[in-house]
Structures are given as C-alpha cells and as structure tokens.
Structure 1
C-alpha cells in the first residue's frame, strides 16, 4: 500500500492508484507487470473482513500521522480552521483516513457484499427527489466512505460519475476493474465527460461528483469553507442551473466495529441562487453541515485551501 503522504485524492473516483500514488519511472512492460501485481494485492486485501480492514487502517493511519511532515501539518491546520484543535481529534482523523484507504479495495471489488451493510435514516430525501423525475446531482465530499455512495445509489437507477485517468496508461485495467459495476457509468473528467453528465441529467438520471476538489482552468470562485475562503468549483452549480435538477449532498458515515456505513442525505433548498459565488457558498455550507455530523471522517489532510496559479485574486485581507 502506498503511504498516505503519496496518496492523491484528486480523481473523481479517489483511489489508492491515483495519479500520484505510484511514482514509478518504469518502462511499459514493467509498469504493466506492476499494475497486475497491484490488482492482485487489492483483491487479497478485499478478502479481509471489514472490521479487520478498519482496524488495520486506523493503526496505519495513526502511525503515518506520528511522523513529522507536511501531511501532519496540513491535517492539523485544516482541522483547526474548522474549530477542531484537540490533538486527540487529529489522531482520530488520521486513523479514519487509514480506515478509508483500507476499506476501498473491498468496496471496489466486493461491492455486492458491501452495499447491504449500508443503512440510512434520511433515504426519503433521495427517493423524494427521484420521484420528481427531473434528475439528481449528487455531491459527495471527501467524507466517510465516498466510494460506497454511488454504488448504493445505483439501486435507484443508473448513475454517471467522473474519474481522472491514471498517469500511467498501463494502470487503466486496474481502474477499470474498480469501476466495473452494472448501472454505474464512469466518464473521464474532460469536456466529453461533462457532456455525458448533461445528457444523463436531461434523461432524468443521476450523476455524482466530488464538490470539494480544488478546481483548475479558471473554473472556480472564492467561497467560505469553515470560515476561510476556498477556491470552489462552479461546475456543479452550472450543471444544476442548466438542467434544473435536484441537488443532494450525500456522505457515508463509517460505523463502529466494521458494521458498515450510514448514508446521510441533505438536499439543497430551492430555488438555487443565480449568482455562482452564492451557489458555491451554499454548497460549501451544506458540506459543512454533513462534516459536522462526523468530523473525524473528513479528509482534513486534503489541500482544500490551495491557490492554483490560474486562480482569481484572493479576497482582500486573506493570505494564501
């Protein structure tokens, strides 16, 4: 398993095989062999029971956190920004990140065994939105087990999600194995993928994306996130306004003792704001609401307050 330091969570289907998780200068043959071995390793990990995976992950996560470095500093800084400054909280959050990593192969490769472990107290939010027949835009932040969400939602009907292709093309078979599921349509994070999103929504289907990734190519506005301006994507808002669909924030809380997950749904109030910045702020506020419910399971180590080179100017009196 790659270390938490080298993990990239920048793909639309975040994974341990993302673009920065295998920094290997191998030739094509070697890389293909490595991809095959990684897939074998993931399949072996997926055989372990969920309680064992969560336990192992929490131990590994805390071990990595114990090492000084950028990962630890960013986790602490981002958690403090949200008001969680207890050192014990940071250690628990690091442990939950480890649990998320270790559960991912099982969710990918043994979906049929994982989905029955999902419960929800707010499922009516999703079913009511689906009954309207105008499509749903699901926004799933880096919270809890974000890989199980789309796989559970498939039971309502087809869902289209975005993914970022791995840097090494030979790893694509591994990603394909992870994405393989009836009713789950994975499209690349490109203009073609956005067009697929629009088509699915116009058919009254569901699409899913991560709203708390730092956008690039000028597709972002500054909006508050836990009291600090964060560059927030406008794509979600554009899709919602263009297609007139319901917008639902969803996150799967990891339950204790490996019992499974509790899926939380939160629908954005309508009508949605016309102003892109106001809509981005509403999305961030909705994510904050869910994160507050089980804050240790948010990915605080993600560089949420990054300032890309092509970002618009920061608001006055705000430092990067």
Structure 2
C-alpha cells in the first residue's frame, strides 16, 4: 500500500489522527463496536439538533398514524441507528469481509447474475446498513457504483480504496461510462432515493407525500439495456447478521418514467416498514417541493 506524498501535508495531520483512531476502533470486537455506534447515535439524538429535526419531520410526514409516544420512540431509535451505521461503515473501510464476523442471509442471489449479455442495475437504498451490506454483497457479486469525490483528500483516498475493491467507481455525472458498463454485462449499483432536485425528476408519492424522485433508474435501465433488481436489506440480531432479499423489477422500465419512479418508491416503502428505524431519515427527502407548496423543514 503506497500513500501519495501530498497526503502527508501538515494541514491533513488532524485527519490522519482521526483515521488512525477509526482504525484502532475497528480492531475491537464486533459487539463492542456495535455498542460504541449505538452510543454515538444517542449522542447525535441530543446534540445533532438539525438532523434530529429533519428526522422528526420526515417521520411525521411518512408515518402519521404513530401516536406521540410511538413517534418519539422511533425518532430516538432512528438517531441511534445512524451511529451504528457509521461504525459499520468504518469497519467496512478497514476490515476484509472474513474479519467482519457477521452472517449474511441472502435470497434471490441468482438474480444478480447477468444473463443474455445484459447487465444488472442494482437499485440501492439509504439504510444505515447500506455500507456493510454493500460490502457483503459486493464480495459475491462485484458491482460498479457511482461516487461523489470527498472534499478531504485523505478521506477520499481511504474511501476510494474501499470502494474500488468490488467494482469500478464511476463519477456520478459520467452517465456514458455507466451505460457502457451495463451494456458490457456488468453490474451497477444506483441509489435513487434522495432528493436530487427538479432536474430529471418526477413528483410521485412516497408514503403519500409528493417527493421529487429521480427518473435516472429508468434512464439507466433503458440506455444500458439492463435487468433491474431491488435488494431490500436490514440488520438482524444486534448486527450479528444481515438479511438481503433480492427481487427483480420485471418489465422495467415501463416507458412511463413517473410510473417507474413510483414503483421504486413502493418497493422502498415496504422495505422501510420492515425496519423503519434503520432507514436514513436524516436526509431532506422532501427538500424540493411542487410549485406553490411551502417548505417542510
């Protein structure tokens, strides 16, 4: 492993100190890391007021039938889960799959295999177990993925090393490269469940609330002539095991981008209801509103 010389600049020493601390933490037993993550998440609940507010609003919009006690309990569990996911992400950076000490329970794995020369578009979603499940799945079924370059060059180097082990990192704006890879029979991980603005988006229901939802999934599936699969994943038994259930979205794309976007959201809703506290509710899913609607955050 060769570290580029420019990453040793004095201004980056604090980052290296943080990276070193993360490396040390990943050497602790898995259960200890889980408890550290849970503790961090509870700290987020009390200290990260802006993120807690966003989470609060999202839960009230998407799960309005919860009473106040149920809502507060889920809010606290959700913030706690953010810390657990953070520790899992760091463990994924520095540990090989065999050192993670976890069990993977997977169904529908055969759908990840390219067939008839067609690539596979894997629709990922922002659950707190995304990074560790991506690593576990990537070992069996390597996939390319989109990325956005991190502003800190040390963290970018660390993440790029981890990201590139199971597929080719593709810049998020390099659609031509992504389409070529799909046409060549590769797998591509794509995450369409955040608010990317009005451009190339349709306002479709997400738990009954209009949400700006990218039509990029349809574009990639059509242009890449790819089969589309949806892996629903969740953490089990306090992080001792992870479950991934893969289903194929047959007849996708349909020719109606709005209907396709709603179909993706419907699959996501079902996955969330199976483990609502494990979804990353702290992002502003309803940041972009239809014309004339007030801001919600």
TM bucket (normalised to shorter chain) is: 0.7 to 0.9
Q: Give distance in 1, aligned partners of 2:273 and 2:247.
A: 13
- Contact (CA 8 Å) 1:251, 1:264: kept in 2 or not? yes
Partner of 1:185: 168
Partner of 1:169: 153
Q: 1:273 deviation in Å?
A: 2.0
Distance in 1 separating the partners of 2:112 and 2:52: 40
Q: CA deviation at 1:60?
A: 2.1
CA contact (8 A) 2:88 2:132 kept: no
Residue number in structure 1 paired with 2:123: 139
Q: What is the count of residue pairs matched by the alignment?
A: 283
Stretches of structure 1 lacking an aligned partner (at least 5 in a row): 1-27, 308-312
- Residue 102 (str. 1) matches residue 87 (str. 2): yes
Measure the CA separation in 2 of the matches of 1:47 and 1:36. 17
Query: TM-score when scaled to structure 2?
Result: 0.85
Matches within 5 A, 1:1-320: 29-67=9-47, 69-83=49-63, 85=66, 86=70, 87-113=72-98, 117-122=102-107, 124=108, 126-130=109-113, 132-133=115-116, 134-181=118-165, 183-191=166-174, 194-216=175-197, 218-307=199-288, 314=290, 318-320=293-295
CA shift in 2, pair 1:247/1:33, >3 Å = same
- Deviation, 1:155, is 4.1
TM-score by length of 1: 0.80
Q: Does structure 2 retain, via aligned residues, the 8 Å contact 1:117–1:261?
A: yes
CA-CA distance at 1:314 after TM superposition? 0.9
**8 Å CA contact 2:41, 2:79 repeated in 1:** yes
Report the aligned-residue RMSD.
Answer: 2.5
Q: 1:283 to 1:72 in 2, by over 3 A?
A: same
The answer for unaligned runs of 5 or more in structure 2 is 1-7
